[in-house]
Structure 1
Amino acid sequence: MTLSVSLADQIALELRADIMAGRLLPGMALVEVDLVKAYNASRNTIREALHRLGQEGLTRYVRNKGVMVRRLERSEVRDLFVVRRTLELQAIAQSGALTDAQVEGMHNAIEATALARDREDWRAVATHSLVFHQLIVGLMRSPLFDEFFAQVIAQLRLVFCAAIDEQRFQSPWLERDREIYALLVRADKPAAGKAMSVYLNDSERLTLALFT
């Protein structure tokens, strides 16, 4: 049975994808009249889509300004990393041998990250790296966790936009993603879990440093 997706759901998903891709940045206004024209939708549909993004922690209403893409606080970032540790480490711990589809998906995400790095497109580097980590959570085969984690990494994407030197901030992670991927392919879950734990500790430290 296929569940139908409302127009408001679809618009919310597309706006979230724009956040993930770095096209919508913290502080940007989401103007109703512009979105009505862009999506050929009613005001009520646009308001419903924006409300859903607000529930996902991606937008907020500012009096006299309307709906804007959120800027996250330091305490919220700490919480996001609590979630990341819980889901990503658990996904690795309970994973079995990777299927061909899982190997291909992770490989493609890493190669996309490498291509973006070669182009020095650091926003795309961040996006594709987060996709790789979403695929790790996908090892649990839980659509509910997949949807929840998609919201988590979209919030993280907004935080990464605060990096003044994106190249310096994003450069360290590709090779570490490759290492984790190789360990998962070899089904070395203890080593993959340890590598991921260190990765998340370092990522949290550097991300929190953006607030100083």
Structure 2
Amino acid sequence: MTRPGIEPLIRESTPSIIARKLRRAVGDGVLAPGAQLSEASLARELGVSRGPLREAMQRLTQEGLLKSIRNRGIFVATFTEAGIRDMYVARAAIERAAAAVIMQTDPEGAGAALREVINAADVAPSEDAVREADFRFHVLLVELSGSAHLIRMHHTLITETQMCITALADTYPDVDVRLPEHRDIAAEISAGRGDEVDRLIVAHMDDGIHRLAPGQDGVPGPVPLRRAVDGCPVTRE
């Protein structure tokens, strides 16, 4: 039994540690989209037995980051046009929900914390710094809600976005326009204007899709093969 105010240490299981490492490797592009994974090779690289590795890979398969194909093996996920749009729909829903929670708790403090992320990138505005700030902004936005469920769901979606952008790092468009959009969102959060925050988040998510898959009358339509939505490679199944 612990005393009030002292939280017990949480021991992370071996499969959880392995899953975290694999998730990072997928997000960073070390394990590229479409790559087949060798259980034996990965176990050897990570210095772990195949039992916990298999459990970790099953977790990532359930998250959609890996794909198991019967009689062929396990592969890093790729993205279809519909899957990319669905990913952004899900991200928008989670981030809007997180922002709504923040508006009921500490919008001024949250806005200040989000501005710190943007300001850190302004100090040395390289492409890598801007991209890192881009991801960190969205991760922090959801973390500030304090919702374990939103954080868990968002974590997988952010990893998917990272792996997409990494895959097309040389062609990722307009990275420098992201920080001003983030700055506007942070400002509206600080001001407590929830409706405007919601509108800006929706516009922020829609921007990538409408920019690269405009369709007709502003409605996202079919995208040519190997085009990108916020940097995500597009394939057809």
Query: With structure 1 as the length reference, what TM-score do the two structures score?
Result: 0.81
1:44-64 deviation per Cα after TM superposition (whole angstroms, max 9, x unaligned) = 111111111111111113467
Q: Say if 2:43 is the partner of 1:36.
A: yes
Corresponding residue number in structure 2 for 1:46: 53
Q: CA deviation at 1:189?
A: 2.1
Matches for 1:173-192 after TM superposition, within 5 Å: 173-192=178-197
Corresponding residue number in structure 1 for 2:219: none
Q: Cα 1:60–1:192, aligned 2, differ >3 Å: closer, same or farther?
A: same
Unmatched 5+ residue regions in structure 2? 1-7, 214-222, 229-233
Corresponding residue number in structure 1 for 2:107: 98
Q: Indicate if the aligned counterparts of 1:91 and 1:137 stay in contact, CA closer than 8 A.
A: yes
Corresponding residue number in structure 2 for 1:154: 159
1:85-107 deviation per Cα after TM superposition (whole angstroms, max 9, x unaligned) = 2221222233233375x456524
Q: Cα 1:157–1:19, aligned 2, differ >3 Å: closer, same or farther?
A: same
Letter in 2 for 1:158: M
Q: Indicate if the aligned counterparts of 2:108 and 2:190 stay in contact, CA closer than 8 A.
A: no
Q: Indicate if the aligned counterparts of 2:98 and 2:150 stay in contact, CA closer than 8 A.
A: no
Secondary structure of 1:171's aligned partner: helix
Matches for 1:98-117 after TM superposition, within 5 Å: 98=107, 100=109, 102-103=110-111, 105-111=113-119, 113-114=121-122, 117=125
Moved more, 90-99 or 40-49: 90-99
Q: CA deviation at 1:22?
A: 3.9
How many Å separate the matches in 2 of 1:199 and 1:128? 15
Q: Cα 1:207–1:67, aligned 2, differ >3 Å: closer, same or farther?
A: farther
Q: Indicate if the aligned counterparts of 2:32 and 2:167 stay in contact, CA closer than 8 A.
A: no
- For this pair of structures, how many residues does the alignment match? 208
How many Å separate the matches in 2 of 1:85 and 1:200? 6
Q: Indicate if the aligned counterparts of 1:57 and 1:70 stay in contact, CA closer than 8 A.
A: yes
Q: CA deviation at 1:65?
A: 5.7
Secondary structure of 2:118's aligned partner: helix
Q: Indicate if the aligned counterparts of 2:29 and 2:166 stay in contact, CA closer than 8 A.
A: yes
Letter in 2 for 1:55: Q
Q: CA deviation at 1:166?
A: 3.1
Corresponding residue number in structure 2 for 1:20: 27
Letter in 2 for 1:182: A
Q: Say if 2:116 is the partner of 1:79.
A: no
How many Å separate the matches in 1 of 2:121 and 2:200? 19
Query: With structure 2 as the length reference, what TM-score do the two structures score?
Result: 0.73
What percentage of residue pairs aligned between the two structures are identical? 27
Secondary structure of 1:168's aligned partner: coil
- Bigger Rg, which one: 2
Secondary structure of 2:67's aligned partner: strand
How many Å separate the matches in 2 of 1:74 and 1:107? 33
Unmatched 5+ residue regions in structure 1? none
Alignment RMSD (CA, Å): 2.8
1:61-82 deviation per Cα after TM superposition (whole angstroms, max 9, x unaligned) = 3467632211011111222222
Corresponding residue number in structure 2 for 1:7: 14
Structure with greater proportional helix content: 1
